[in-house]
Amino acid sequence: MSTLVKICGITQPDQARQTAALGADFIGINFWPQSKRYISPSNAGWLTRLPDSTARVGVLVNPSLEEIEAISAGGLVSLIQLHGDETPAFCASLENIGLKIIKAIQVRDHLSLERIADFPVNDILLDAYHPQARGGTGDTFSWALALRFKELYPQRRLWLAGGLTPENVAEAVRRVQPFAVDVASGVEDSTPGVKNMAKIEKFIRAAQ
């Protein structure tokens, strides 16, 4: 099975449409107010007009159940990515009401992988650790830890993030063979949320 591609931190409707046309499997929209790529749900109605071939992922950090339900009920996204300190019990409560969840884990070392066992979530996104930021930093982590994740949790789907670029994603796919790769800053020039469409196209082709 080929690795799928998620382009995260999109803020502009026209770039979202172009990204979908280029063949991205997922588009990530950041609904965390402290993100440099934040979009208010009230300004994201254009998401519902994207083609069904590209799934929409809402990225949140330590949200309330009410926040998640409001975004999901509005039809803005088809998956929820939790990128904070959400507990296994909270994730279980979301799964129990039928929501599709991706749980992001910031990876520092092997101990970071051990706590994943407690989460009742099939889709796990591994990202580089940062003391303040929640993804989109451009930092990498050792892919050896991603391979160790696959040994520990062979039944789970690995979403690989952290410092991926059009130049290194093909090697990441060859070495790690994740379910999906995830990029934000790696397909931008200097302004967070404003994508370089040539980089997106190159990234998708390299991942494939």
Interatomic CA distance for residues 2 and 178, integer angstroms = 9
Q: Which of 25, 52, 91, 127 is catalytic?
A: 127
Q: Which of 8, 25, 91, 182 is catalytic?
A: 8
User: CB atoms < 10 A from the CB of 55, how many?
Assistant: 18
User: 91 catalytic, yes or no?
Assistant: no
- Alpha-carbon distance of 69 to 109, in angstroms, equals 33
CA-nearest of 135, 124, 130 to 59 is: 135
Distances (CA, A) of 129 to 162, 171, 193: 9, 21, 21
Residue 68 · residue 86 · CB < 8 Å: no
**Catalytic status, residue 8:** yes
Helix residue ranges per DSSP H, the chain: 13-21, 65-73, 88-96, 110-114, 143-152, 169-176, 197-207
Cα separation, 124 vs 129, in Å, equals 15
Question: E strands along the chain, which residues?
Answer: 4-8, 26-30, 55-60, 79-82, 101-107, 123-128, 157-160, 180-183
- Other beta carbons within 10 Å of 115: 10
Residues designated as active site: 8, 127
